[in-house]
Amino acid sequence: MRHFSRTLLASAAAVAMTTLAFQAQAETRVTYKSASAGTAYYQMGVELSEAIRRGTDDEIVLTLEESQGSVQNVMEVMARQGNYVFTTPPGLVEQALAGEGPFAERQSPRFQEIRGLFPIPAITMHFVAAGDEGVISMQDLEGKHILIGRGTFGAREAERYLELFDLLDRVEVADAAIGSGPDALQNGQVDAFVTASSFPTPNVIETAASMSISLVSMSDEEIEQTGSTRQTIPAGTYSGVDADVETTSLPVIAYTTSNMDDETAYQLTKTFWERREAMAEESGWWGSIEPDMVGNIAGTLHPGALRYYDEVNIEVPDALRE
């Protein structure tokens, strides 16, 4: 009887180990890199991870990694293996493919392996200043100590705007990472910070909840000068900002590389679009995503993603087809 019990236990253990091994083999792990914790894009990653997990019945698991921004995300293509998904404005992918901008001195043939998946909510420029005015002008930043971050796409855009509006030599730019912006503003170490994130962005919500803030609203002429798309942040989005704020936005895309197999890319893309409405019910920023935004993708689509778009008759520009 003892021998039978030992045999039964051994058999049960073997079955359990086999089951676990099968589950581990069946589960596809994907690294997802977007932004630093506390930002809207990191929160989107959390929400997307849960949507993918539910939509694939745990067959695909997204593991989030913090990032210092889109430039870093693209740069890591050079070293990443396996299933790597990252977010970036498509303009940075164009620069990586051409060996220009931040990639001019760090060119790599691996950049040619970048493939598009699907659009995510656009970057919205936020110029956040201390004060209870609610809405201020770009020129009101003159003479202020401003934190714009360093090395990120948002920092480069902020610097471009300051230069474009003849403010770069008339403000003091803080040498600090963008993640410290809200704390620095609350502690009086800076007068303003700039963050490039979809709205409503958590770090601005938290800052507005603890102190009076104002946002820069641009004129029609200023928006036209930037060459970016007009974006209205509705009144009441942030505490104390009771008027519409006119600013700019840039598209953002979820990319992977040709290392990802077609089926995984297909399932990720399919699940994203099928769960989009459910995600929008929880967080409004997902409601801004429309199928025609596929046309914003730079480079080429992953064949697995293209398969899904063709199945559901989403229009894909010829330039995105390999």
What's the pLDDT tens digit per position in 135-162?
A: 999 999 999 999 998 777 788 889 999 9
Residue 26's pLDDT band (cuts 50, 70, 90): low
Residue 5's pLDDT band (cuts 50, 70, 90): very low
Please give the model's pTM, rounded to 2 decimal places: 0.76
Query: What are the residues whose beta carbons fall under 8 Å from the beta carbon of 184, sequence distance 6 or more?
Result: 147, 174, 176, 190, 193
Distance CA 318, CA 297 (A): 12
The more confident residue out of 14 and 59 is 59
Report the mean per-residue pLDDT for the chain.
89
Task: Say if residues 117 and 253 touch (Cβ distance below 8 Å).
Answer: yes
Return the percentage of the chain with pLDDT > 70, whole number: 92
pLDDT for 18? 43
Over range 202-206, report the average pLDDT: 89
pLDDT for 287? 87
Q: Which domains does the chain have, with CATH numbers?
A: 27-121+253-320 (3.40.190.10), 124-250 (3.40.190.10)
Residue 68's pLDDT band (cuts 50, 70, 90): confident
**Apex CA 33: angle with CA 30 and CA 38, to 5°?**
125
pLDDT for 184? 92
pLDDT for 8? 42
Strand duo 245-257 + 213-216: pairing: unpaired
The more confident residue out of 185 and 4 is 185
Per-residue pLDDT tens for 179-199?
788 999 999 999 999 998 888
The more confident residue out of 11 and 211 is 211
The more confident residue out of 179 and 23 is 179
Q: Can you tell me whether residue 137 is helix, strand or coil?
A: coil
The more confident residue out of 129 and 322 is 129
pLDDT for 2? 46
Distance CA 163, CA 245 (A): 21
CA atoms within 13 A on the CB side of 161: 33
**Out of 1-15, 31-45, 51-65, 211-225, least confident range:** 1-15
Whether residue 271 is predicted with pLDDT greater than 60 in this model: the reply is yes
Measuring CA to CA, how many Å separate 298 from each of 189, 233, 291?
A: 39, 26, 15
Over range 72-91, report the average pLDDT: 95
DSSP β-bridge partners for residue 130: 213
